[in-house]
């Protein structure tokens, strides 16, 4: 019985070693992509005995490798320039391989396959930048939006998101009166956005984000820009200063008035007392 258990244990250990080659499989294989800067990440960090090699392919295509991701001790692989067909969908295999050639007799190494990734549909769009200009008559505000740059190049020129999405790219503006919580939305197909339904002379705050309606709902909107606010030529005191600052100013004014009144009263009493003492000290007039 003891010999049988020992034989079974040995067979189990040998089968485990043969399947994995003592190299752990990669875990948590994840795509991360912003503006077509696409990086594959995974865990854990390898030991000195093994490393990672990444293979990727589109459906029906041959497996390819990135030269920087062969027998690598890193847990990331930048595939931005490797996924050349942006409309295709890719999967990647992270292989656990020996750090040195010929260090293992395995024909097939342990690997973990990623989820599917489609650059055109799945990359996140980063926050745009924009400039704000108010017309001289204060009746119109114009936003000039700059298309975010991508990690892709063509003929030596870096591409922006409009170079890739073309007329599919729109911009959504969210705006509100300064110090107000009520919001309005406006969508534009161009980078020059004119808003004319604003109250004249009021200060407004704006944010902008890319909008691609052809995508799935969870990928239609890009990251929101930093807010910018227009100037108010005649702001009310409540908009310039907070209620706390105004209350503090009123308190200081009342305190100052109180001090002035108190000093005046004390001075008047002292003067009356002085006059009385002087009167009491005068000699009686003889008739």
Residue spans per domain, the chain: 26-122, 129-232
Yes or no: domain 129-232 corresponds to CATH 3.40.30.10: no
Predicted pLDDT at 133: 94
How far apart CA 247 and CA 218 sit, in angstroms, is 46
Predicted pLDDT at 135: 87
Nearest in space to 42 (alpha carbons), one of 88, 121, 110, 119:
110
Predicted pLDDT at 30: 98
Q: Which fold has domain 26-122?
A: Immunoglobulin-like (2.60.40)
Predicted pLDDT at 14: 36
Predicted pLDDT at 15: 39
Predicted pLDDT at 10: 36
How far apart CA 239 and CA 178 sit, in angstroms, is 8
Intervals of the chain under pLDDT 50: 1-20, 234, 286-287
Would you say the CATH fold of 129-232 matches that of 26-122?
A: yes
**CA dihedral (195, 197, 199, 204) positive or negative:** negative
């Amino acid at each position: 019985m003891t010999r049988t258990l020992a034989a079974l244990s040995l067979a189990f250990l040998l089968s485990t070693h043969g399947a994995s080659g003592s190299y752990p499989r990669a875990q948590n294989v994840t795509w991360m992509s912003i503006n077509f800067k696409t990086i594959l990440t995974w865990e854990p960090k390898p030991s000195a005995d093994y490393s990672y090699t990444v293979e990727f392919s589109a459906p029906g295509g041959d497996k390819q490798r990135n030269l920087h991701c062969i027998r690598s001790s890193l847990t990331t692989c930048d595939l931005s320039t490797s996924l050349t067909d942006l409309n295709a969908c890719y999967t990647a295999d992270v292989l656990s391989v020996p750090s040195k050639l010929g260090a293992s007799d395995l024909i097939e190494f342990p690997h973990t396959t990623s989820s599917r990734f489609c650059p055109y549909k799945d990359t996140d769009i980063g926050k745009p930048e924009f400039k704000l200009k108010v017309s001289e008559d204060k009746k119109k505000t114009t936003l000039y939006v700059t298309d975010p740059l991508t990690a892709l190049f063509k003929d030596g020129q870096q591409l922006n998101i409009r170079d890739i999405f073309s007329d599919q790219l729109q911009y959504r503006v969210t705006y509100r009166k300064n110090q107000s919580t009520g919001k309005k939305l406006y969508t534009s197909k161009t980078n020059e956005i004119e808003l004319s339904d604003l109250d004249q002379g009021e200060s407004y705050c704006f944010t902008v984000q890319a909008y691609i309606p052809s995508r799935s709902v969870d990928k239609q909107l890009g990251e929101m820009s930093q807010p910018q606010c227009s100037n108010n030529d005649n702001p009310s005191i409540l908009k310039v200063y907070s209620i706390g600052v105004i209350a503090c100013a009123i308190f200081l004014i009342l305190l100052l008035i109180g001090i002035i009144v108190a000093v005046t009263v004390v001075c008047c009493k002292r003067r009356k007392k002085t006059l009385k003492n002087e009167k009491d000290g005068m000699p009686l007039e003889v008739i």
